Amino acid sequence: MNYDQSNQRDTLFERLSGCFLGGPKLDNLPGGRTEALRKLHTYDPSSYSRTRNYTNGAVSQLSPYLRHGMLSLIEVRDHLRSKFSNDPSHLEEFLRQLAWRDFFEKVLTWNGHALDEDLEEPKHSVSRSNRIPLDVLSGDTGLPCIDGMLSDLFDQGYLHNHARLWFAAYLCHFRGVRWQEGAGLFRQHLYDGDIASNSASWQWVEGTFASKPYFMNKDNIANFSSGKWCNSCKVKCPFDADYPKLQHRLFAGSTAPFVSKVADKAAVTNNTQPASHDIPEDIAPLPPNTDLIWVHDAAISWVDECVAQNPNAAVAFVFNKPALQAEPWAYHRLAFVADGIDDLFKNLPNSTKLTLVGDPVERLTTLAHKLGATTIHISEHPNPWVIETAEQLRMKFRVIIHPRLVLAEYPLEPKRFSRYWEKVAIQVLGHRPNPPKRKFK
Ligand SMILES: Cc1cc2nc3c(=O)[nH]c(=O)nc-3n(C[C@H](O)[C@H](O)[C@H](O)COP(=O)(O)OP(=O)(O)OC[C@H]3O[C@@H](n4cnc5c(N)ncnc54)[C@H](O)[C@@H]3O)c2cc1C
């Protein structure tokens, strides 16, 4: 008997007890490759370069799908290049932004776990705390702009790039918190919460992966948010100064006091459930020479080589319970991934498809033994936990890593985007780039 275990949402979240914050919402972003393709095919980037820095600009919101491998950078680029082949200049800025994602993945590939710590010496000597103040965690700082950003983060799971920069600068420089704490908060709540783009961007703001720290003033927020918070704001604004004054205030003085991290906005669910038994006891061994595919959370796509080439293998996705217990995700993030798995399983011909919850090495080992599988297929990814899981499985099984196509080949150490872009722009764009006009990354 083989299994096509449908991903029953209530049962799944019972098994994920202790792994998430908050609960279901009506307006969750739907996950999955089907939805990703719909979004890609309806996206029009023609006003992107003119508007992208404005919080109401024509951005794509494709990042959650890219983060989870429901779309690849290459297929986004190729689709847009063929759709807008008559006017490639419209696309240039969009493709340059896609390349930031590729660049940060290369930073992760190069640095691995070292990306969790400062990549470079800080460019200032102001001390940092490892606690996020409670007013920030509860979205109640009294600053309409910051509270608005926090509400978008907690409720929508999405922030425009400029809002991410502002919030990161606020937390690091105006509240004196270590960038790692903010990066953790983003990973928990953003649909696209990531290691590479997230940690590297926080370091870019802090100045440990850039030549200087990034910060903004009120004019910048008012301009690029089209006054949505500032026009009616009555509070004393900590950002209302020119850049030299702010620079002096932020980096020549001391940081604001902080209170301890006692609670998050949404309570973490309790963890009193017994261990889950998600591998059916009577699961039948596979016919000889049948393999197992481990689908991890950055490769949820039926065109991923790993699954596309193995229609007879058993397929398993594992929610990494120990990792989620250590850093619970917002419910909407897990629901988005669960949607993606449902959609993937619907579109795969493979007859054995399971969603497991637990320690990935233990769950996959148990499953492979039950199935009698001796080979495990994994899609290549720079996330250290994917690499480490593959290494541990390799001690017991034959592991085949399926290479991941990258947007650009760049064999050098990825230190600065400008240097990387000089070398890869032709590969990404298919032509020489126009001279840059940029102010922001
Ligand atoms: C502090 C901070 C934290 C961030 N954390 C994450 C994260 O966890 N996950 C994540 O995917 N992105 C992160 N970003 C990068 C960027 O903000 C988002 O990728 C982008 O806002 C996603 O929205 P979009 O899809 O509408 O982007 P668009 O503007 O439509 O861009 C298209 C795609 O290009 C890529 N891209 C665009 N801008 C950037 C950028 N600055 N850096 C890297 N890739 C980019 C993304 O894949 C994006 O989907 C972070 C940025 C900052 C400043």
Which residues does 133 contact at the CB level (< 8 Å), separation at least 6?
141, 175, 177, 256, 258, 259
d(CA 75, CA 40): 10
> In the numeric block, which tokens belong to residue 226?
């089209």
Structure-token match 């509270």, residue found: 147
Which segments in the chain show pLDDT lower than 50? 1-2, 254-275
pLDDT at position 13 is 95
Q: Where are the beta strands (DSSP E) in 1-93?
A: 20-21
Atom of ligand 1 nearest to the CA of 60: 30
Characterize 39-58 residue by residue with b for buried, 16 or more Cβ atoms within 10 angstroms of its Cβ, and e for exposed: bbeebebeebbeebbebebb
Residue 161 CA to ligand 1 center (angstroms) comes to: 6
Q: Ligand 1: residues whose CB is within 6 Å? A: 52, 59-63, 66-67, 97-98, 100-101, 104, 160-161, 164-165, 168, 186, 190, 192-194, 197-198, 201-202, 205, 441
Which residues does 139 contact at the CB level (< 8 Å), separation at least 6?
147, 150, 151, 154, 265
Residue 94 CA to ligand 1 center (angstroms) comes to: 11
Residue 165 CA to ligand 1 center (angstroms) comes to: 10
Length of the chain in terms of residues written: 441
Residue 59 CA to ligand 1 center (angstroms) comes to: 10
Contact (CB, 8 A) for 402 and 377: yes
pLDDT at position 438 is 52
Residue 321 CA to ligand 1 center (angstroms) comes to: 26
DSSP element (H, E) containing 401: strand 398-402
Residue owning the nearest CA to atom 40 of ligand 1: 100
> In the numeric block, which tokens belong to residue 27?
């307006």
DSSP-based three-state secondary structure for 21: strand
- Going by C-alpha positions, the residue among 172, 139, 168 that lies closest to residue 156 is 139
Residue owning the nearest CA to atom 5 of ligand 1: 198
Structure-token match 């820095």, residue found: 53
User: Which of 104, 146, 192, 440, when mutated, tests ligand 1's pocket best, judged by the most ligand atoms within 8 Å of its CB?
Assistant: 192
pLDDT at position 437 is 60
Q: In percent, how much of the chain has pLDDT > 90?
A: 83
Task: Pinpoint the alpha helices (H) of 299-404.
Answer: 305-308, 321-326, 331-346, 360-371, 384-394
State which fold the 28-116+408-429 domain adopts: 1.25.40
User: Which of 63, 156, 179, 333, when mutated, tests ligand 1's pocket best, judged by the most ligand atoms within 8 Å of its CB?
Assistant: 63
Task: Determine how many CB atoms are found less than 10 A away from the CB of residue 207.
Answer: 22
d(CA 389, CA 358): 13
Characterize 79-103 residue by residue with b for buried, 16 or more Cβ atoms within 10 angstroms of its Cβ, and e for exposed: ebeeebeeeeebbbbbbbbbbbbbb
**CATH classification code of 134-252:** 1.10.579.10
Asked if the ipTM is above 0.95, the reply is yes
pLDDT at position 262 is 36
DSSP element (H, E) containing 187: helix 179-189
Q: Cα-flanking dihedrals φ and ψ of residue 313, to 5°?
A: -75, 160
> Which long-range CB contacts under 8 A does 431-436 form with residues at least 24 apart?
431/88, 433/92, 433/96, 434/89, 434/92
Residue 104 CA to ligand 1 center (angstroms) comes to: 10
Atom of ligand 1 nearest to the CA of 73: 47
Domain ranges in the chain are: 1-23+274-405, 28-116+408-429, 134-252
Give tens-digit pLDDT for 176-220.
999 999 999 999 999 999 999 999 999 999 999 999 999 999 999
Task: Determine how many CB atoms are found less than 10 A away from the CB of residue 417.
Answer: 18
pLDDT at position 253 is 54
Task: Indicate the class that CATH gives domain 1-23+274-405.
Answer: alpha beta
Residue owning the nearest CA to atom 50 of ligand 1: 198
Residue 175 CA to ligand 1 center (angstroms) comes to: 23
